[in-house]
Amino acid sequence: MIFAGSMIQGFAMAVFLFPHAIPSGGAAGLAVLLNYWFQLPMSIGLWLMNFLFLITSIQYLGKISAVGTIGVITTTAVSVNFFEVYFRSPFENIWLDLLIGSIFLGLGITLLLKQRVSNGGIGFVALALSKQKKVDPGKALFWMNGFIFLLTAVVINWQIVIQALLCQWLSTRIVSWLYRVSFPPVLQMAWRNKRDG
Per domain, the residue ranges of the chain are: 2-196
Give pLDDT tens digits for 148-188: 788 777 787 888 888 988 998 899 899 999 988 875 554 44
Give the contacts of 61 (CB within 8 A, at least 6 positions apart).
54, 69, 124
Q: What's the pTM value of the predicted model, to 2 decimals?
A: 0.81
pLDDT at 59 (0 to 100):
66
Give pLDDT tens digits for 80-109: 999 999 999 999 899 999 999 999 999 999
pLDDT at 111 (0 to 100):
93
